[in-house]
Amino acid sequence: MSKTIAIYDTTLRDGAQAEGVNFSVADKIMIAQRLDEFGVAYIEGGWPHTSRVRDSEFFQQAKKITFKNAKLAAFGSTAHPKNKPEDDPNLIGLVESGAPVITIFGKSWDFHVTDALQIELEQNLAIVESSIAFLKSQGREVFFDAEHFFDGYASNPEYALRVCQAAVQGGADGIVLCETNGGALPVNVFTATKAVVDAVDDSVVIGIHAHNDGGLGVANSLEAVRAGALHVQGVINGFGERCGNANLCTIIPNLQLKMGLNCIDSNNIKMLTEVSHYIFEIANMPFDKRMPFVGNSAFAHKGGIHVSAVMKNAGLYEHIDPALVGNRQRVLVSDQSGKSNIEYKISELGITFPEGADKNLPKEIVRQIYELENQGYEFEGAEGSMELLIQRAGGTYSPIFELNHWRCIIEKRNGKVVSEAAVKLTVNDTEEYVVAEGNGPVNALDKALRKALLQFYPEIKEMELTDYKVRVLGSSCGTGANVRVLIESRKKETLWGTVGVSENLIEASWQALVESIEYMLLKKL
């Protein structure tokens, strides 16, 4: 039977320390529930200290939740050197949180003991042992985070191991070796972890808590497991202070799918991509499409030779089946594409061309893409425009309206800049002329276009523009350069992108806006 690795998630604490991340109490409750559903063993909720009102409130609300898979952990420090453990406000707050698991950190690097705490090395050992003993007396499962352990082991291995032994003497259920500065190499993490595993009684679990300052957070976590650690701490999406914490979205599939270790229920690991997206959304952070396993680009193929190969056997260029982690294979279409990319895309989209269609159509589509991308178009982030191009080339789609003209006026009225757009269209042989004001010319055009089409296609009401990006092409031309506009649209849970290119920003925006609506109606979203 393969070993079981306990996954201890610190997204709600370490993740919240990332630049740009600010979880509300409601956010933390929702994330905790999703992580519990996913099946992690522990969820660290934060530091319930008197000065940390939000974390204290989270633990109060969390008492009303029944967790099915995870145990909730409260985080804090060992007692202050001047306090007895039973009188220490930090330790009292941890107990009063009601969390069944308590994790406290303490110094394991002699340099920190003498220069940061400014106490004797022996006193630090006594603080570690007594703090843990107090928490154990309260009937809690207790983990000791040996802060800066790997730096401490490199500096004074004997003392670093004595700190771990003091935690054992206090009754700790687990000792977590913290790679706090994030700069250790995997070979050193393996050596130091093995030393602790060999020195500590088998009844005490050894864990790893790695940061990513050297880009090795995941590698260091895997090496610690290889050395005998059975407890891994990390953050979904790798959020965290400085360069982040070890990314559980990469650690979990490597442990389970590559190393054959149990850490998440085999029926749940396919939720990994969904969980990753969910937490990016709650954090209001842009999704990192290049993340291993869960990113949109993780199983995306662009080069024609690669696509030709994966059409024969996906394993030729994919290290796992993307469905195992809830992701999917994607084939990108660009000027790097060949006929194979287009044939794959046509099949993927389920497009059927009329009988007798030109057999050279894929080559013709490739030619059109080469020509358009030479003008500045980019279809990797605009799959809506890509499908429309294929449909038009095959004669299976025609525009939903005929444009007679549009006009934008921008003027300053009473100290305020006002944008007004007028659109004249012919829809189903009916002429529509609409005027709308908006927050800028693109918004005004968007409003006018929707207003003109609404009586014919009422489903447009449910569609929204979620992102708008402008890229100047050939910046040496200054304000006369071509611009590329990428628009992301959403209807309920479906997202799609469209693109427009012109030397005129408003025209490029118009192209992308029109295609966003055409795509929605084509797909009957």
**pLDDT tens readout for residues 78-119:** 999 999 999 999 999 999 999 999 999 999 999 999 999 999
480 domain residue, yes or no: no
Report whether 312 contacts 322 (CB < 8 A).
Answer: no
The Cα–Cα gap between 59 and 204 comes to 27
What share of the chain has pLDDT > 70, as a percent?
95
**pLDDT tens readout for residues 5-22:** 999 999 999 999 999 999
Indicate the average pLDDT of the chain: 90
The Cα–Cα gap between 78 and 92 comes to 11
Residues 112 and 216 in one domain: yes
CA nearest to 190, candidates 179, 201, 181: 179
Residues 214 and 98 in one domain: yes
Tokens of 434: 């609409």
DSSP state of 182: S
Alpha-carbon distances, residue 266 vs 324, 355, 376 (angstroms): 9, 45, 45
Count other Cβ atoms within 10 Å, centred on residue 14: 24
CATH number for position 438: 3.30.160
Count other Cβ atoms within 10 Å, centred on residue 243: 14
Give how many domains the chain has, as a whole number: 3
Q: What is the pLDDT of residue 313?
A: 80
524 domain residue, yes or no: no
If one compares 477 and 451, the residue with the highest pLDDT of the two is 451
From 368, 393, 418, give the residue that closes a domain: 393
Residue 425 — pLDDT band, cuts 50, 70, 90?
very high
Phi then psi for 244, rounded to 5 degrees?
100, 175
Report whether 517 contacts 449 (CB < 8 A).
Answer: yes
Provide the CA 242 distance to its chain's centre, in angstroms. Answer: 16
Which span out of 240-249, 309-318, 483-492 was modeled with the highest average pLDDT?
240-249
The Cα–Cα gap between 460 and 303 comes to 36
Q: What is the pLDDT of residue 306?
A: 74
> Domain range holding 193?
6-264
Which span out of 49-63, 109-123, 309-323, 325-339 was modeled with the highest average pLDDT?
109-123
Q: Any idea which of 51-60, 246-255, 358-367, 412-421 has the lowest mean pLDDT? A: 358-367
Residues 326 and 368 in one domain: yes
Residues 69 and 183 in one domain: yes
Residue type for 128, please? Answer: V
The Cα–Cα gap between 317 and 261 comes to 24
Residues 408 and 379 in one domain: no
Residue 358 predicted with pLDDT over 80: no
Any residues with CB less than 8 A from the CB of 135 and at least 6 apart, and which?
Answer: 85, 91, 94, 95, 102, 104, 142
Residue whose pair of structure tokens reads 């519990």 in the numeric block:
36
498 domain residue, yes or no: no
374 domain residue, yes or no: yes
Any residues with CB less than 8 A from the CB of 73 and at least 6 apart, and which?
Answer: 8, 42, 43, 44, 45, 99, 100, 101, 102, 103, 143
Q: Is 1 exposed, middle or buried (0-12, 13-18, 19+ CB in 10 A)?
A: exposed
Residue 336 — pLDDT band, cuts 50, 70, 90?
low
Count other Cβ atoms within 10 Å, centred on residue 70: 22
Any residues with CB less than 8 A from the CB of 374 and at least 6 apart, and which?
Answer: 335
**pLDDT tens readout for residues 180-190:** 999 999 999 99
Buried b (16+ CB within 10 A) or exposed e, 431-441: ebebbbebebb
Residue type for 147, please? Answer: E
Q: At what angle do helices 505-523 and 383-393 cross, to 10 degrees?
A: 70
Residues 101 and 191 in one domain: yes
From 393, 421, 442, give the residue that closes a domain: 393
Q: At what angle do helices 157-170 and 186-199 cross, to 10 degrees?
A: 50
Residues 248 and 314 in one domain: no
Provide the CA 471 distance to its chain's centre, in angstroms. Answer: 24
Report whether 404 contacts 424 (CB < 8 A).
Answer: yes
DSSP secondary structure of 142-158:
EEEEEETHHHHHHH-HH
The Cα–Cα gap between 141 and 101 comes to 5
Tokens of 158: 């004997």
The Cα–Cα gap between 506 and 511 comes to 9
Neighbouring C-alpha atoms within 13 Å toward the C-beta of 441 = 14
Residue 304 — pLDDT band, cuts 50, 70, 90?
low
Q: What value does the mean pLDDT take over residues 351-358?
A: 72
Q: What is the pLDDT of residue 82?
A: 94
From 393, 427, 443, give the residue that closes a domain: 393
Q: Any idea which of 264-278, 356-370, 384-398 has the lowest mean pLDDT? A: 356-370
CATH number for position 193: 3.20.20.70
342 domain residue, yes or no: yes
**pLDDT tens readout for residues 118-143:** 999 999 999 999 999 999 999 999 99
Residue whose pair of structure tokens reads 């029926």 in the numeric block:
267
Bridge-based pairing state of the strands 402-413 and 141-147: unpaired
Residues 379 and 431 in one domain: no
248 domain residue, yes or no: yes
Q: What is the pLDDT of residue 1?
A: 44
Residues 126 and 228 in one domain: yes
Alpha-carbon distances, residue 342 vs 82, 338, 402, 522 (angstroms): 71, 7, 28, 19
The Cα–Cα gap between 150 and 154 comes to 6
Radius of gyration of the chain (CA): 29
- Whole-structure pTM value: 0.74
Q: At what angle do helices 361-375 and 339-349 cross, to 10 degrees?
A: 100
Report whether 495 contacts 430 (CB < 8 A).
Answer: no
**pLDDT tens readout for residues 478-490:** 555 789 999 999 9
Residue 491 predicted with pLDDT over 70: yes
**pLDDT tens readout for residues 145-162:** 999 999 999 999 999 999
Residues 326 and 448 in one domain: no
Tokens of 491: 């209807």
271 domain residue, yes or no: no
The Cα–Cα gap between 438 and 242 comes to 40
Q: Any idea which of 46-55, 126-135, 334-343, 463-472 has the lowest mean pLDDT? A: 334-343
The Cα–Cα gap between 503 and 505 comes to 6
Phi then psi for 181, rounded to 5 degrees?
-80, -10
Residue 175 predicted with pLDDT over 90: yes
The Cα–Cα gap between 303 and 292 comes to 19
Residues 193 and 240 in one domain: yes
Q: What's the residue count for the chain? A: 525
Which span out of 157-166, 410-419, 422-431 was modeled with the highest average pLDDT?
157-166
Residue 51 — pLDDT band, cuts 50, 70, 90?
low
Residues 153 and 105 in one domain: yes
484 domain residue, yes or no: no
